[in-house]
């Protein structure tokens, strides 16, 4: 009985396939066997040279906000003896050690790495491949918005890695990640390019990542992503992971962006981007009907006195191209403007009232539009939301976001953390950086109302 059932199923399947699907097979391919099978395929000759350009970076950072409880203070006799004194904890300085990687980009000792590898470090030490000697490194400059930093060691005739044009990188290219994961020096992993032009990942402010499935783990940050010719196509920066280990989704900053920023950091110690002065958002499917189905980037606000304002751009304009190059997303426009030097002149095509228009404007530097006085107060740095509605919950639709808190500051001790939203200072609601600056001009103690995970609480600074 079982045999009959099996035959019936096979016949039914065959009939169904015959009527509904034409299944095609690839032609037979000739299998070639090496005449001399005594050799193996290897990338050794490429990797042995590339490996010499990747260094180990170790940093030390002093943490001052830690406290340590003295066990004697648990004794009632000692508590009575020290009545009236603060015996709850004693300040203690802790040393935080971190490991990362870097890539030598010049024979004179300049090394590129991630900003997060060296940010806030008191000391930076570099160990070259196949060496045990440590070099003291100096921070030349950093660009947190792209997570790139340049350090330098006093050494000559180093093995510098050559840059490859990352615009020519294609999905499917074989790549290798070189770095020091978990402190294991000179580790090389292989994969392919999974995607290019990845943005809106929330990793850095300026994103144009190369995605790869080559294994990248903690300690790989700042290391090299190279192609099969041994040339640099990117600097490994981040991974997507639930537990901190590799799951096959890694991101590298493309070499063209690295080269542009590194060159400026070496020459001037900082990287200045061009500034347009608009807030922008992607165009929803419903909004496209107002612009005749065109793709582009919607202007949601224009900063007074900024280049966009002076040129006549307005809220509701749809930017469709910059210097004849189409822009289809907010990230694409942001990266495009950020790629120009300050004071550059550009042509912008935009749609207003169903008419496509064009104008010229002169950009300025982003450094001129983000003064420190607008950003910091008693150890806390804040920034405006790019898309306020996206982050709004309930009736909380205002505030400035906490982007950084110094470890030993009043703000940190008060409980303020990165990601918090300051929605009110005393009786003044906060909607812009200007509001925050106005309400924190003097050093008197103030009540700050903080929004975090659906709740609002108050602290005193």
Tokens of 98: 């971190």
pLDDT, one tens digit per residue, over 333-389 is 988 998 888 889 999 999 999 899 999 999 988 766 554 434 578 888 888 765 444
Give the position of tokens 């812009």.
432
Q: Answer for the pair 57, 125: CB distance below 8 angstroms, yes or no.
A: yes
Task: Of 295-304, 329-338, 427-436, give the lowest mean pLDDT range.
Answer: 427-436
Statement: residue 210 has pLDDT above 70? yes
Q: Give the closest residue to 167 by CA, choosing from 197, 199, 211.
A: 197
Q: Lowest-pLDDT range, 47-51, 133-137, 428-432? A: 428-432
70 and 141 housed in the same domain:
yes
454 and 413 inside one domain: yes
Q: Which two tokens stand for residue 20?
A: 């509904």
In a domain, 16, yes or no: no
Q: Which residue has the tokens 């419903």?
A: 286
Q: Are residues 232 and 146 in the same domain?
A: no
* CATH number of the domain that residue 252 is part of: 2.40.10.10
Residues 259, 304, single domain; the answer is no
Residue 257 lies in a domain: yes
Give a yes or no: residue 84 inside a domain: yes
From 152, 179, 205, give the residue that closes a domain. 152
Q: Which of the residue ranges 17-26, 215-224, 334-343 would you say has the lowest mean pLDDT?
A: 17-26
The tokens for 439 are 């309400």
Residue 166 DSSP code? G
Beta bridge partners of 149: 113, 142
Average pLDDT taken over every residue of the chain? 81
Query: What would the DSSP string read from start to end of 167-235?
Result: GG--TT-EEEEEE-GGG-TTEEEEEEEEEEEE--SSSSSS--EEEE-S---TT-TT-EEEETTS-EEEE
Whether 6 maps to a domain, the answer reads no
Higher pLDDT, 293 or 233: 233
Q: What angle do CA 119, 122, 123 make, to 5 degrees?
A: 100
Domain count, the chain: 4
In this structure, the answer to whether residues 237 and 171 fall within a common structural domain is: yes
Same domain assignment for residues 184 and 123: no
Last residue of a domain, one of 105, 120, 152: 152
Task: Give the pLDDT band of residue 88 (cuts 50, 70, 90).
Answer: very low
348 plus 288 within the same structural domain: yes
Indicate if 116 belongs to the active site. yes
Q: Which two tokens stand for residue 403?
A: 């982007």
180 and 220 part of one domain:
yes
Task: For residue 178, give the nearest of 45, 49, 265 by alpha carbon.
Answer: 49
Residue written as token pair 């981007």? 273
User: Quick one: 142 and 218 in the same domain?
Assistant: no
Largest Cα–Cα distance in the chain? 95
Residue 28, pLDDT above cutoff 50: yes
Instruction: Give start and end residues of each alpha helix (H) in 319-387.
Output: 330-338
Give the pLDDT band (50/70/90) at residue 61.
confident
Pair 147, 170 in one domain: no
Sign of CA dihedral 141, 113, 205, 313: positive
The more confidently predicted of residues 361 and 287 is 361
Q: Tell me whether residue 323 is in a domain.
A: yes
User: Would you state the structure tokens that stand for residue 35, as one six-digit string?
Assistant: 């005449």
Is the pLDDT confidence value at 56 over 90?
yes
The token pair that represents 59 in the structure block:
């940093």
Q: Is 147 assigned a catalytic role?
A: yes
Residue 91, in any domain of the structure: yes
CATH number of residue 405's parent domain: 2.30.42.10
Give the model's pLDDT for residue 4. 40
Range of the domain at 230: 166-268
- The percent of residues above 90 in pLDDT, for the chain, comes to 40
Q: Which of 152, 176, 207 is the last residue of a domain?
A: 152
Q: Cβ distance 347 to 360 under 8 Å?
A: yes
Residue 109 located in a structural domain: yes
Contacts of 438 (CB under 8 A, 6+ apart): 428
Which residues have C-beta within 8 Å of that of residue 86, sequence separation ≥ 6? none
Cα–Cα distance measured from residue 60 to residue 100, given in angstroms and rounded to the nearest whole number: 12
Domain membership of residue 32 (yes or no) is: no
d(CA 279, CA 330) in angstroms, rounded, equals 9
**Exactly one of 58, 146, 221, 331 is catalytic; which is it?**
221
Helix (H), strand (E) at residue 9: helix 2-20
**Are residues 255 and 188 both part of a single domain?**
yes
Is the entire prediction scored with pTM above 0.85? no
For 310-341, the pLDDT digits (tens) are 999 999 999 999 999 999 888 889 889 988 88
Distance CA 9, CA 79 (A): 84
| List 116, 143, 329, 376, catalytic entry | 116
Three-class DSSP category at 393: strand
How confident is the model at residue 438, as a pLDDT? 80
DSSP string, 131-148: ---EEE-EEEEEETTTTE
* Percent composition of the chain: helix, strand, coil (DSSP 3-state, to 5): 25, 35, 40
Catalytic residue among 53, 98, 143, 147: 147
Regarding whether 280 and 255 lie in a shared domain, the answer is no
Confidence band (pLDDT; 50, 70, 90) for 176? Answer: very high
Checking if the pLDDT of 192 tops 90, the result is: yes
């Amino acid at each position: 009985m079982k045999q009959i059932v099996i035959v019936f199923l096979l016949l039914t399947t065959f009939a169904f396939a015959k009527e509904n699907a034409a299944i095609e097979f690839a032609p037979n391919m000739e299998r070639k066997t090496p005449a001399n099978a005594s050799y193996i395929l290897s990338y050794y000759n490429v990797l042995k040279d590339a490996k010499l350009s990747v260094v180990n970076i170790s940093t030390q950072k002093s943490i001052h906000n830690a406290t340590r409880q003295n066990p004697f203070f648990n004794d009632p006799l000692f508590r009575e003896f020290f009545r009236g004194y603060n015996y709850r904890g004693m300040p203690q300085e802790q040393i935080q050690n971190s490991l990362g990687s870097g890539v030598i980009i010049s024979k004179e000792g300049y090394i590129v790495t991630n900003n997060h590898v060296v940010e806030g470090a008191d000391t930076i030490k570099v160990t070259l491949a196949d060496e045990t000697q440590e070099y003291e490194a100096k921070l030349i400059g950093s660009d947190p918005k792209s997570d790139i930093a340049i350090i330098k060691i006093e050494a000559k005739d180093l093995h510098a890695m050559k840059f490859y044009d990352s615009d020519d990188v294609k999905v499917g290219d074989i790549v290798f990640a070189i770095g020091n994961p978990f402190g294991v020096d000179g580790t090389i992993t292989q994969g392919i390019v999974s995607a290019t032009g990845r943005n809106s990942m929330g990793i850095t402010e300026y994103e144009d990542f190369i995605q790869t499935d080559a294994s990248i783990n903690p300690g790989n940050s700042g290391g090299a992503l190279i192609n099969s010719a041994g040339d640099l196509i990117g600097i490994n920066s981040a991974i997507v992971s639930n537990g901190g280990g590799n799951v096959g989704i890694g991101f590298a900053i493309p070499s063209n962006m690295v080269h542009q920023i590194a060159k400026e950091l070496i020459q001037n110690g900082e990287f200045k981007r061009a500034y347009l002065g608009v807030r922008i958002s992607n165009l929803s499917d419903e909004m496209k009907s107002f612009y005749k189905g065109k793709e582009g980037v919607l202007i949601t606000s224009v900063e007074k006195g900024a280049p966009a304002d002076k040129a006549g751009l307005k809220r509701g304009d749809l930017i469709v191209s910059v210097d004849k190059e189409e822009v289809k997303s907010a990230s694409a426009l942001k990266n495009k403007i950020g790629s120009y030097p300050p004071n550059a002149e550009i042509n912008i095509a935009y749609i207003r009232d169903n008419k496509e228009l064009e104008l010229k404007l002169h950009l300025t530097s982003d450094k001129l539009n983000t003064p420190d006085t607008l950003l910091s107060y008693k150890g806390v740095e804040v920034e405006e939301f790019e898309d306020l509605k996206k982050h709004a919950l309930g009736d909380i639709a205002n505030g400035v976001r906490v982007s950084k808190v110094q470890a030993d500051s009043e703000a940190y001790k008060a409980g303020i953390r990165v990601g918090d939203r300051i929605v009110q200072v005393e009786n003044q609601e906060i909607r812009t950086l200007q509001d925050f600056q106005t309400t924190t001009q003097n050093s008197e103690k103030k009540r700050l109302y903080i929004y975090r995970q659906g709740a609002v609480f108050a602290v005193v600074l």
